[in-house]
Amino acid sequence: MRVYTVHTRPLSAEPDRDAVLVKEGFCWPAFFFSVLWALGHRMWFTAIGFLLAVVAAEAAALFLGLDPVTDFALGLGVAAAIGYVANDCRRAALRRRGFVAAGIAAAAGAEAALRRWFDLNPPADDRPAAGFGAAFDARIPGGAAGSA
């Protein structure tokens, strides 16, 4: 089961369309395609930062005259670091765009997690009214209608 953080825009007209799920843990797409992954999520400054990290690692390898195996290990380490921080960078980018962390959902996939989140946390206008209704409460001694 995967764990996701749910981010929504407050006071959104369509909260289900404005909900974004971000997976907890390592991000494999960012590990393999760091700059393209960031650009795909419209994280421009993060993409620049990832590019600078990769270029700095390669420049350090050239400056230090590292052998190809050590250079590969350095590149792998930079890619692993990017994979570990990528989803946190995405959460920060969403926060800067006005999203708030609404909670956590766990499911086998992103669609199931979103469905589960909205089943447990329906939008305010879709929530049922308190009680079972006036007709039902009137029949129960001390019910909501009888206690008023």
pTM of the model: 0.75
Mean pLDDT of the chain: 85
pLDDT higher than 80, residue 97:
yes
Between CA 108 and CA 130 the distance in angstroms is 32
Q: Please indicate whether residue 13 or residue 144 has the higher confidence score (pLDDT).
A: 13
pLDDT at residue 141, as a whole number = 57
Find the mean pLDDT for residues 42-51.
96
pLDDT at residue 82, as a whole number = 97
Q: Torsion angle, CA of 82/87/90/92, rounded to 10 degrees?
A: -100
